[in-house]
Structure 1
């Protein structure tokens, strides 16, 4: 029996897979504790997972889409910069204090941290023994590569193009101030400068467990050996709501379109859910199932062919869904692909442009290229997906690849082979090349 500390950035889409992983480790007889925000204490307790609370100042908040009048790439850069500062850099010191306090309180064999739990960065740089650290990819692979555009741009790679110079421009020009801010935070903690670009920090971990399949990532000739594709974690969370009576009343021949804005960017349902209801209203051949993620924002008049719920367990819902419309939450997209459901993605914050780009790259759906699509664009995309067999075929291919994975077994085997790490040597001030 081993002892594991699971650390998650206090965002629903990050906590859910990390809690799923913690519950599986507990079922295998290990001692597990979850470190995250207080709002998730009851959810952890329901699965028997002991809890460690992060301080309130380490919390993240949804970033609004500012400057809507700006061109797409400039707007995306400004969003990304705000999110890096608020959700990536600001929590480091507080998360690190909570992490080290727990590691001083009890001995752990390994720390498993989602890639946005940046409090592990100082732990990886400190010159003292530590448990093994496994970064967990709950967002698309964000490591820089000569074969891919910088993370956050939402650009699909072009065959034969070398992106090294563009990556350097982003690091040394666009995000130079944020890299400097990271180094200042580390200096206040008594550490040297980070040896990598800030989004490359998982290179320092003993493993990067990416919760997807290779088929949903871009090919990279310079992929580090530490990256392990586990496959998506199955949706084993407790059902938070049951399907309404209308579910059993739907004819088997009805086309079902599911729309969601997830559990994070769902305060403004006019972004995606309301336009979808408008786009497909009056379509007798389509039933629209909208899940609001618990949002209390009123939707107004509901079309006759629409059904609204806070939550429906994906295991119940997705086998009946023909098309899923989403703002691009990584976990929900993985579950849709598990069931071979083609997707239409409309997202602009956090990792959502990268998720949308990968959907388009794999051929499993359509990237609408905006967080606020017009009803006409949604209707056209739905008709295109329903009328083109290639989308469902591509999604089915990914589903077949996912079906061959055993993520919990893969993770368990790597954990069994890990050992505590001795004190590391000092980190040089200069950063490695992005093309390594």
Structure 2
């Protein structure tokens, strides 16, 4: 049996796909561990079975760096790298080295935004796989931004000199040994790259910690059901958008019932009526099996989980990879895009009516669902990792 060390950033959407793969490997008798800057978050999402190594203290600069909600585009991307991803890699690197020394993995599975895992593994001569929890990097996102692309490459070169092997050459976002993409070309589109070491495995879905007390009996089987969510990292930006959503939903209360996730508490005063249920958190996976549409920020995990269930989307990207993912949803026909910062209740209502009543978005969502389920998910990802471990010296 082999040992696999998963290095992940302290972000729910990046940990959850790894959890499903780790569970498969554990079921096959392999040893599995995680290295993360937030061990408590990993334990909450992965349970008590895997060993978890804490591998960073406070991320330098990140605590005092609050990204303005209105920041978008290249400026937001630069902020993310300069104030979070690069400092996170520097902070994680010593702990990742210590975890490798103690756990002695045969393979390091490095999340695409946990650069320390890839660079430490390369420096130590360990085979490493990339866990690509968003497909934005595979769509030529920087083709029209050559200055941004050059800036990113320079930051990675400097990072390699500090924590990796200065003579190395692999981009820590793209393993030359094995690249696991938790999507499929049916969503990514024709730009999806092809190579023997690149494998499109579709979403990795695993059991999630239970959300206690969800009132399943509240759901009205006589009305279409809509989930509205902006994910776990956008509570500070969603007040206006959620308010417009609420207005659009109430105008359709005779035929639409909605569950609205509001972790920031923007609208919690309206909890409890029969038309819109507003909660700080919801059991997203089991809920999606009962939904007819999703309104979201185009986060990769939410989009993938909705399409896994064949549910069409209204997408309102905010920043980072979300505009790219939103473009994928629209291009494959599975949804409608609206402008997060300027959308009105009227426009949201039009978009919602389209995905609920036009058969084309649902048919496209079902096509992606078929591709996702055929790709194999966590089972396929685990098999590729086992093969990499078996073939490595």
Q: TM-score, normalised by structure 1?
A: 0.80
Question: How far is 1:410 from its partner?
Answer: 1.7
Aligned to 2:334: 364
Aligned to 2:141: 150
Question: How far is 1:336 from its partner?
Answer: 0.7
Q: Do structure 1's residue 135 and structure 2's residue 130 form an aligned pair? A: yes
> C-alpha distance in 1, partners of 2:52/2:260?
32
> C-alpha distance in 2, partners of 1:277/1:113?
39
Q: Do structure 1's residue 91 and structure 2's residue 62 form an aligned pair? A: no
Instruction: Tell me: CA distance 1:277–1:401, structure 2 relative to 1, closer, same or farther (3 Å).
Output: same
Aligned to 2:294: 324
> C-alpha distance in 2, partners of 1:81/1:134?
25
Aligned to 1:266: 235
> C-alpha distance in 1, partners of 2:161/2:140?
30
Which aligned pairs between 1:18-417 and structure 2 lie closer than 5 A?
18-36=18-36, 37-43=38-44, 46-58=47-59, 63-66=67-70, 75-123=72-120, 125-126=122-123, 128-130=124-126, 132-143=127-138, 148-151=139-142, 166=144, 170-171=145-146, 173-189=147-163, 191-192=165-166, 195=169, 201-220=172-191, 223-244=194-215, 247-283=216-252, 284-292=254-262, 294-301=263-270, 305-371=275-341, 373-417=343-387
Q: Secondary structure at the match of 1:202?
A: coil
> C-alpha distance in 2, partners of 1:189/1:317?
42
Deviates more, 1:183-192 or 1:390-399: 183-192
Equivalent pairs counted in the alignment come to 386
* Contact 1:268/1:297 (<8 A) preserved: no
Question: How far is 1:404 from its partner?
Answer: 2.1
* Contact 1:282/1:305 (<8 A) preserved: no
Give the root-mean-square deviation of aligned CA atoms.
2.6
> C-alpha distance in 2, partners of 1:56/1:5?
19
* Contact 2:226/2:295 (<8 A) preserved: yes
> C-alpha distance in 2, partners of 1:307/1:222?
41
Q: Secondary structure at the match of 1:7?
A: strand
Q: Secondary structure at the match of 2:239?
A: coil
Aligned to 1:17: 17
Superimposed CA distance per residue, residues 348-396 of structure 1 (whole angstroms, 9 cap, x where no aligned partner): 2221111111100110001214355322221111112223110111011
* Contact 2:35/2:52 (<8 A) preserved: yes
User: What are the ranges of 5 or more consecutive residues in structure 2 without an aligned counterpart?
Assistant: none
Q: Secondary structure at the match of 1:24?
A: helix
> C-alpha distance in 2, partners of 1:77/1:55?
27
> C-alpha distance in 2, partners of 1:51/1:187?
27
Instruction: Tell me: CA distance 1:104–1:331, structure 2 relative to 1, closer, same or farther (3 Å).
Output: same
> C-alpha distance in 1, partners of 2:192/2:257?
44
> C-alpha distance in 1, partners of 2:10/2:86?
14
Instruction: Tell me: CA distance 1:309–1:189, structure 2 relative to 1, closer, same or farther (3 Å).
Output: closer
> C-alpha distance in 1, partners of 2:56/2:308?
35
Q: Secondary structure at the match of 1:134?
A: strand
* Contact 2:136/2:324 (<8 A) preserved: no
Aligned to 1:157: none
Question: How far is 1:297 from its partner?
Answer: 4.2
* Contact 1:291/1:308 (<8 A) preserved: yes
Q: Which runs of 4+ in 1 moved over 6 A?
A: 59-62
